[in-house]
Structure formats: C-alpha cells, structure tokens
Chain A
Amino acid sequence: MNPPSLPGDPLRTTKKITWCPSCPDNMILESSQKAIESLIKQGHKRESFAMTCGVGCHGKIFDYLNISGLYGLHGRAIPLAIGIKLGNPNLNVIAFAGDGDTYSEGMAHFIHACRFNPDITLIVFDNQSFSLTTGQATPTSQLGFKTKSEPLGEFNQPLNPIHLALSANATFVARCNARDLDHTQQTIEAAIKHKGFSFVEVIQDCMVFNLETNGKDDRMYKIPKPQKLSRALKLARQFDYNQSETKIPLGIFYQTHRNTLYEEWPQLQNLKKKRISWKQLKR
C-alpha cells in the first residue's frame, strides 16, 4: 500500500526521523532525495525507482524516502538490488548501505557487484564505525581506534574501498562528503545515470561514536573530472582512512563503459526493449 507523504513533499514519508539531530545521515537523505527529484524532473517516474537498504543507522533512510524498496538484512543491500534489477531491468535501483554493512558483512557482494557490473547504484554511508551497535570498529576504521569491543585498539590497517572498487573493475567510482549537499546530489545523480555498477562512497562523521576521525572537511578537495585508471588508483591511495594530514580527494575518480548485466542477457534485453517486467511478459 502506498505510504502517505508529507504535505507538498511526495518523496518523503510521514515517518518521524530518529537519527541523531546533527547526524550527516540527514544530509545524505537530503542529497539523495534531491537527486531523485532532479531525475523525476528529467522524465523518470517516481515509481521507476526502487531502493534497497542494509541494517544500520543508514538503513533508516528506507522509512523516510517515499519510493518503492526492499529493506534487507544486514549486509545484503547489494544482492537484493541486483535481484530487483534481474526481476525488472527497467527499474532504477539504488542500494543504500553502511560501511559495516558493505565492507564487513557484505564484502563478497561488493566485489562481485564490481565484477558483474549490474546497472545499479551503491551509496555507502561511511562513518568508519558500526554505529547502530554502539560504535565498534569497521574495516574502514583508523588504526588504533579503541572501542568497547576492541579496548586494545584496532590493529588492522583500514581497507580502502575506492582502491578496491577500482581494482575489482568497477565502472563508476566516486567519493563525496555528506556535508557537501550539492556535490553529493550531483554525484548521486551521475551515478544513477551511469549504465553499469556505480559506487558512491559518502564520507560522514558519526556524532556519537569514533569522534576522533571526524572533522576531515578541510583536507578534502575535488577532482574536476573522471581520471584514467592509473591516475585514479594513485588518487585513491592519497587517503588511507587513517588519522593523518593527507588530502582527501572527492568526486568521480573513474568512469568507463562495460556491458552491464542486462546487456549480456538476451532475456533481459528483451524486457528492457519492450519496457516490461517479467510479470507483464507473455510467453
């Protein structure tokens, strides 16, 4: 049943927001919604969007954004999104996930999505912590991060998701700062328009846990346009997710075209060409 919308705001449900008041998750919701609004203005239908979410603070976006979707289990936003796309290649599918969600519980899905190149968009809310479970270290937490579950401090070098996605042959790799609403909106819009797997990592502070990694904004700068792969890999290494003074590049690191999942399957091409779903297919 269609959820009711806020008056004058069809893309927002009436569900009361329960994120912490100054949490940048609110801003990612704002940017994502603006990107979808902009695409609707350009001719996409509201009902052509479908989102999936993992479990974590980020996942609550499911209840606030008034589009269709599937609120999955922890770590599974990506396979759900690929499934929706297989189930109807005409939908614009967006997976919202956390850093714990994507790089810990769901890591295999992330790498295989880069490989399969399905035409979906992955937006990772990276606050470098498992926040909904009260602040343990995730694979992108900085060395030395002391938590309730790791009182001796994090021993492992953080994982670099941008570098990983590039190495795994992702066809669209971008990074944003949650506080930069316009840039995040534009990047998400470009990601949704990209034909193939588009990955947008949004760096955000957590206002309650892992405070020591917050406030990186003045180290951030924008790459003007997508780079060649070798250059993109170099730029990806500039920031290693540790505490340091290094610069943090934002923007679309890399974009290329490779046949997407549906372009490889005649059955899906047929649905796409006829603009129908399996449900409407006559055999």
Chain B
Amino acid sequence: MRLNILIGGKAGQGINKVSAIIAQTLLSQGYFIFNYRDYPSIIRGGHNFNVLSISDKQISSHESKIDIIIALDENTKQVHKNNINKNTIIIDYKPFLNLGLNANIALAGALAKVLGIEKQILLTQINSNLKGKPYLKSSLEAATAGYNSQKQTNQLKKLNNKPTLLSGSKAISLGAINSNIDLYIAYPMTPATNALHELAKKQLEHNFMAFQAESEISVVNMALGSSFAGAKTMIGTSGGGFDLMTEGLSMQGISEIPLVVYLASRVGPGTGIPTYNMQGDLDIALRAGHGEFPRIVIAPGDPTETIEITNQAFYLSEKHKALTIILSDKHIAESEFSSTIKPQKPIKVKVNREVPGEKNTIIKATSYEHNQYGITTEDPTIAITNANKRLEKYKKIQQACTQFPMIKTHGKKNSKNLIIAWGSPKGAIVDAIKDLDYKFLQVIYMKPLSNQIKKEMQKANKIILIESNLTGQLGRIIREKTGISIKNRILKYDGRPFRSDELKKQLERELRK
C-alpha cells in the first residue's frame, strides 16, 4: 500500500503543520512516511508544498503520482494539475475559510477522515501537540469539523511497526551530541541552517555551545582556534560558505588541528537556486584548499546514516588530527524520513592530544611549514619530510576507514545490473528497484574510496551511474580510481530530487536496452 499526499499553499500558511499532525498520527498507527518539502526562497506567499508519502512498508522517497491534494489556495490545484487524475481526491480550503488560523487543523481533520483514521486518534494527537495552548479547544473543534466534512475512502488500520521520524538536520545534531560535541560554529545558509537551529536549541541541555560568527571565513578560523584549544568542534555551511572556508581547510592540512565540516549542498553555481537540491559540490569537498594534504569525505544517504557518519567524522578527525567533511544536501537535510532502523552505538570520541593551558605545556600550531616544535622553517629537508608525513598520514586514514561501512549494497545481491550512486538519491533508488533486477552499490566514503568498488564493477554486466548533478562527479572519481568509465548515466539537475516511480520507469527502460 502506498499513498502520496500533496499539501500545497503559500509560505506562512502552515503547510508543515498539517503534514506534521498527519505524519505523527500515522506514525503512531505504525505507518512509514516520507515527507518531501518543496519551497522557494520566499518567506510569505509564493507556492510551497510538501509531498507526504505513506506506506505500510519502509519507504524513503516520494512519487510523482498524487492520490490526495490538500489545497490551501487556488494556485495549488493549478500548479499540480499534471499530477492530478480522475481518482485524485482534492480537499479544498474554501469550506474552512472562516476558521482563520485553525483552517489547516481542519484540513488535517479532513485528511484523517479520507484516510480512515479514527477521529479519536487524531484528536489525541492534536491534544498532545497543542497541550496548554489557549486555542486548543477551538483547534479540536476545527479538526472535528474538517473530519465530518469528508467521505472515508481508505481504511488505514493500526499496524505493529514503531518507526521514528527524522530529518537530516536533526540527525547531524544527534550525531554531534552522540560524539560529545563541545562547539558548533556556523553562519546561516540554507540548507545547513536547520542544523544550527537544532544544535542551538539543544546546547544548554547537553552543555555544549552553538555560536554564530560574522562570516564563514571567521567560522573556520574560530573553529581552528577552538579545536586547537581542545574543544571538539564542528562547523556547518552550504557550498557558498564552504568556498569561503577553503583557506581554513588548507590551514588544517598543515597545522593538523582536528576539524569536522558539515557541508549541505544546494543548487549552484553562485547563489543558484537556494532552497533546492543538487549534488554539485563533491568536487570541491574532495579538493578545496591549496596545497596537498589528506582529508576524509563521507556522504550519508539518509538521516540514520547521518547520525552514524557524524560520529565517525568526529572520531576520525580527533584520532588522526584530520579534516573530515560530512557531505550532505538539501534533500537529506530537510526531508523527513521514518525508519525502524536504530543507528549503531556511537564510538567514544576522546581528545588525547596536548592542548594549551595544560601544565608545563607549550604547544605551537601553525599555517607555516614548521619543525617539531611548531617553529617556522624553510629547510628543504624538513619540507620533504613533512610532505611525506602528510602522505603517510593519508595511508593511515585509508586503513582506519575500512573499519566503517565505506560502501553498502542494496537490492538483488546477485544481479548483474549494477547501479552506482551516493548520497541523497539512495532513498528513491532503493524504493525504485524493489521489484527490479538490480543491485545498488551505495558509495559512502568518497575519500578514501573503497577498493571494493572496482570488484563490484567487474562482476557486473551493466553499470548505471545515478547522480543529482550535471556532470556525474562520482563517475569521474571512479574513473580516476579504477580506470573504468561508466557510460550509462541517469543525471538529474533540475534542483528536484528523484521520485521513485519515475526513476523506476527509467530503470526499467535501461533493462530493456
């Protein structure tokens, strides 16, 4: 069973509120949901919509086919008319106009009836959401009015699953807290901003600090300072801010101060399409910063992996005095995924290095080439020794990363048709290939790259690369590493994530080729 519910309206009308109430109600009934959020860079007005996909089985994507539309304005029906067919149920805002701010609660009520959720279950959910609010009573009345206005067309009975709901931004925060983060420093930039909000909200409870600096240049330099002083530090941004941080990454390379960077991509170049999705920043994550120095780049495919990878990033950075970049994007950061899979138990992150302030310790770290005391040198022998050490360090890092899942495989284990992808397309791919003859190789560690990739490729007859970008950036690094160039590519770069039903059709076509 699978339904896609589109909730659309103007920014500020409470679209997220409707989807949150329904999502929580459905979760409490044991259903899996996936909530895609599509919004332009407009604070009030415009057209925003969510697609809430629901199923009795694990899903991690939404579809293009829409079963139910909740229209908070006229425009919503217009914009999505191509996805509407004669069976689509449209729940209109007009009958609830007189309810003011409660209109969206009434629409949630109407949707609950259509889905066949018992009224009492919905009211209990609203009760717990709005407990103590002065408008609780009128909201309950609005929900009831909405409920009574519709005909029931589905029968969602209670299931035994117990999924929990998580966005990638919350997952970053959880992963950081699991790692005992001391300091998060950032400058607001979509889609990394929600991680800042989330961590700022939790800082007092977990006794760490979230600090907003005056620019990303300042962010990265402050982070080098605080990490030098012994604080487990993470910074976060999107592509544009990451560009500004570049000098600090290079300084990390020579000063060897542990640093974790959360890079949540959006559509570039330039300011691009700020609130939409693109996997366009793999190249800069891998190479930004002048000079030659080691780094680790890890790309989660969903929030659960984000929790685990954030912890791995802290661990690896601290253990190897390394730069680790967590490469995510808007689709993971801002979509909500339900899952019954628990993240792995976090590894303890310990600061074992000398830091300033410790008894009888003088410690110098520097952006210059330096001798063992941290004092500047231009000596060619030391220059060679230190450069070689950086190379050695990368070998150690390569070895250390093999303790974590650097790749994962999904789908039919023995299939000769291999899909290779990384990051956010994971959800749509996994859902699309459920009934198809495909094996899906998910690359998680982008640097170092797993040796397994070549072996998997050699076993396959047909290889398809899937990425949300223009040029197939993973394809390039795989060719660099393995010498194999992937000819079949499904690349999407309209800023919108893959929808699993459309992707399934494309993949079926590929099988017939």
Binding site for B on A (CB under 8 A): 1-4, 13, 15, 46-48, 50, 52, 55, 60, 62-63, 66-73, 76, 79-88, 90-91, 108-109, 112, 265-268, 270, 277-279, 281, 283
Contacts and interface: CB of A to CB of B under 8 A. Distances in A.
B356 A88 contact: yes
A71 B367 contact: yes
Contacts of B356: 47, 50, 68-69, 84, 88, 91
A158 to B, nearest CB: 24
A155 B208 CA distance: 48
Given A83-B226, A281-B207, A2 B214 contact: no
Contacts of B351: 278-279
A140 to B, nearest CB: 22
A71 B217 contact: no
Contacts of A281: 182, 207
A50 B373 contact: no
Contacts of B229: 50, 83-88, 91, 277-278
Contact of B230 (A4, A13, A81, A87): A87
15 contacts: A1-B363, A2-B363, A4-B373, A60-B376, A69-B356, A71-B376, A83-B222, A83-B229, A87-B183, A87-B233, A88-B230, A267-B208, A278-B351, A279-B355, A283-B206
A2 B362 contact: yes
Nearest to B351: A279
Interface in B186-234: 203-204, 206-209, 211, 213-215, 217-218, 221-233
Nearest to B203: A267
A48 B357 contact: yes
Given A79-B213, A278-B182, A279-B351, 8 more contacts: A2-B361, A71-B365, A73-B248, A82-B222, A83-B225, A87-B182, A87-B355, A283-B180
Contacts of A73: 221, 247-248, 251, 367
A88 B362 contact: no
B376 A79 contact: no
Nearest to A261: B211
A47 to B, nearest CB: 6
Contact of B228 (A3, A55, A70): A70
Q: Which 6 A-B pairs have the closest CB atoms?
A: A83-B225, A87-B229, A87-B226, A83-B222, A279-B230, A3-B373
A4 B231 CA distance: 27
B374 interface: yes
A147 B251 CA distance: 31
A273 to B, nearest CB: 13
Nearest to B360: A47
A73 B359 CA distance: 28
B207 A63 contact: no
Interface residues of B, number: 53
Contacts of B233: 87
B222 A108 contact: no
Contacts of B367: 55, 71-73
B368 interface: yes
Contacts of A266: 204
B392 to A, nearest CB: 19
Max count, chain A CB within 10 A of own CB: residue among B209, B221, B351, B367: B221
Interface in B330-381: 351, 355-368, 372-376
Nearest to B220: A79
B214 A108 contact: yes
A85 B229 CA distance: 8
B222 A3 contact: no
B255 interface: yes
A277 B209 CA distance: 13
Interface of B: 180, 182-183, 185, 203-204, 206-209, 211, 213-215, 217-218, 221-233, 247-248, 251, 255, 351, 355-368, 372-376
A32 to B, nearest CB: 16
A31 to B, nearest CB: 21
A154 B376 CA distance: 33
Given A13-B375, A266-B204, A86 B231 contact: yes
Contacts of B366: 62, 70-71
A274 to B, nearest CB: 12
Given A50-B356, A79-B213, A87 B225 contact: yes
Contacts of A83: 185, 221-229
Contacts of A279: 230-231, 351, 355
A81 B421 CA distance: 42
A120 to B, nearest CB: 10
Contacts of A109: 214, 218
A41 to B, nearest CB: 18
Contacts of A84: 225-226, 228-229, 356
B368 A71 contact: yes
A15 B209 CA distance: 38
B225 A47 contact: no
B236 to A, nearest CB: 15
A261 to B, nearest CB: 9
A86 B362 contact: no
Nearest to A77: B221
A270 B222 CA distance: 20
A151 B509 CA distance: 67
A3 to B, nearest CB: 4
A133 to B, nearest CB: 16
A79 B373 CA distance: 23
Nearest to B218: A79
Contacts of A50: 229, 356-357
Residue of A60, A83, A91 contacting most chain B CB atoms (<10 Å): A83
B293 to A, nearest CB: 14
Contact of A278 (B215, B231, B361, B376): B231
A81 B365 CA distance: 13
Contacts of A1: 363, 372-374
Given A83-B229, A86-B226, A277-B355, A68 B362 contact: yes
A280 B217 CA distance: 28
A47 B361 contact: yes
Contacts of B374: 1, 3, 71
B221 A267 contact: no
Contacts of A60: 376
Given A72-B251, A73-B367, A76-B221, A87 B228 contact: yes
Contacts of B180: 283
A278 B203 CA distance: 14
Select the residue from A52, A79, A109 with max chain B CB neighbours within 10 A. A79
A88 B204 CA distance: 17
Given A91-B229, A279-B230, A86 B247 contact: no
